[in-house]
Amino acid sequence: MDIKKKLASRKFWAAFLGALAPVILSYMGQDIAIGEALQLSAGIIVSYILGQGYADGQAAKTLT
């Protein structure tokens, strides 16, 4: 996928900000430990990767 398309994707930015938010909130002194924040961020990133893989696989399936 072209990097320009990836950076223009709303799904990408939602995943990026969703992964960044727990870590930022942890450093800002919210009631969340850094370990938990990293686990939340990792979960969001993995979900995005799996979701994009599924969407790409479905798109490739319709082309054949």
Residue 1 confidence (pLDDT): 55
Among 56, 9, 18, residue whose Cα is nearest residue 37: 18
Whole-prediction pTM: 0.76
pLDDT, tens digit, for every residue of 6-59? Answer: 788 888 888 999 999 988 888 888 788 888 889 999 999 999 999 988 988 898
20 alpha-carbon distance from chain centroid: 9
pLDDT digits (tens, 9 = 90+) for 47-58: 999 998 898 889
pLDDT, position 56: 86
